[in-house]
Amino acid sequence: MRRSQLTTTDAPRSGWRTIRQVAPYLWPEGEGWVKRRVVLALLALVAAKLVAVGTPFFYKAAVDALSGETGAATGAGEAWMLALGAVGLTVAYGMARLMSTGFQQLRDALFARVAQRALRKLALRTFQHMHALSLRYHITRKTGGLSRIIERGVKGVEFLLRFLLFSIGPLILELLLVAVILWTLFDIWYLAVVAGVIAAYVLFTFRVTEWRVKLRKEMNDQDTDANQKAIDSLLNFETVKYFGAEAREAARYDRAMAGYESAAIKTAYSLSLLNFGQTFLITGGLVGVMVMAAMGVQAGKLTTGDFVMVNAYMIQITMPLNFLGTVYREIRQSLVDMGEMFDLLQQPPDVSDKLGAKRLRVTGGTVEFDDVYFGYDPERPILRGVSLTVPAGQTVAVVGPSGSGKSTIGRLLFRFYDVSGGAVRIDGQDLRDVPQESLHAAIGVVPQDTVLFNDTIRYNIGYGRDGATQDEIEDAARAAQIHDFIAGLPLGYDTQVGERGLKLSGGEKQRVGIARALLKDPPILLLDEATSALDTETERDIQDALRRAGQGRSVITIAHRLSTVAEADNIVVLEDGRIVEQGTHAALLARGGRYAGLWQRQASEGEIAAQ
Question: Residue 562: which CATH number?
Answer: 3.40.50.300
Q: What is the pLDDT of residue 141?
A: 60
Give the pLDDT of residue 165.
66
Q: Is residue 495 a contact partner of residue 456, using CB atoms and an 8 Å limit?
A: yes
- The rounded distance, in Å, linking the Cα atoms of 550 and 589 is 24
* Residue among 304, 414, 312 nearest 367 (CA): 414
> Judging by beta carbons within 10 Å of its beta carbon (0-12, 13-18, 19+), is residue 576 exposed, middle or buried?
middle
Q: In the listed set 345, 363, 396, which residue is the last one of a domain according to the structure?
A: 345
Do residue 192 and residue 326 come from a single domain?
yes
Indicate whether 178 and 89 sit together in one domain. yes
Q: Do 318 and 451 share a domain, yes or no?
A: no
DSSP code, position 561: S
Identify whether 428 is part of a domain: no
- Residue 232 and residue 338 share a domain: yes
pLDDT the model gives residue 148 = 66
Enclosing domain of residue 117: 23-345
Cα dihedral value 332, 333, 335, 339, nearest 10 = 140
CA-based Rg of the chain, rounded to a whole angstrom? 36
Looking at the domain assignment, is residue 383 inside a domain? no
Whole-angstrom distance, CA of residue 436 vs CA of residue 423 = 15
Residues 408 and 310 in one domain: no
pLDDT, residue 85, reads 61
Please state, in angstroms and rounded to a whole number, the distance separating the CA atoms of residues 191 and 301.
17
Say what the pTM is: 0.60
Type of residue found at 413: L
| Shared domain check, 575 and 459 | yes
Judge whether 366 lies within some domain: no
Co-location of 466 and 325 in the same domain: no
Q: Which of 376, 494, 505 is nearest to 450 (CA)?
A: 505
**Domain end among 286, 313, 345:** 345
Q: According to the model, what pLDDT value does residue 7 have? A: 41
Contact 194, 289 (CB under 8 A): yes
Q: Are residues 270 and 407 in the same domain?
A: no
141 neighbors 79 (Cβ within 8 angstroms)? no
Maximum pairwise Cα distance, the chain? 120
* Residue 12 within a domain: no
Here the CATH number for the domain that contains residue 128 is 1.20.1560.10
What gap in Å lies between CA 60 and CA 82, rounded to an integer? 10
Residues 326 and 394 both lie in one domain = no
Q: How far apart are the first and last CA of the chain?
A: 61
> How do the residues of the chain divide into helix, strand and coil, expressed in percent and rounded to 5?
65, 10, 25
Q: Is residue 358 part of a domain?
A: no
Residue 363 placed within a domain: no
> Of 345, 364, 399, which marks where a domain is finished?
345
Closest CA to 501 of 488, 510, 492: 510
- pLDDT at residue number 232: 84
In order along the chain (611 residues), what is the average pLDDT of each group of 10 residues?
39 58 73 84 84 78 69 47 62 81 84 80 76 62 62 72 68 79 81 86 85 82 85 83 86 89 88 86 86 85 83 78 69 72 72 86 92 86 92 92 86 89 94 91 85 90 91 90 91 87 81 88 86 67 71 86 86 92 92 90 67 43
Q: Does residue 247 sit within a domain?
A: yes
pLDDT of residue 5: 39
Assess whether 166 and 291 both reside in one domain.
yes
Contact 176, 191 (CB under 8 A): no
Number of domains in the chain: 2
CA–CA dist 412, 425 (Å, integer): 10
* Contact of 347 with 133, CB cutoff 8 Å: yes
Residue 448 sits in the same domain as residue 592 = yes
Q: Is residue 69 part of a domain?
A: yes
Residues 594 and 449 reside in one and the same domain = yes
Burial degree of 407 (CB within 10 A; 0-12, 13-18, 19+): middle
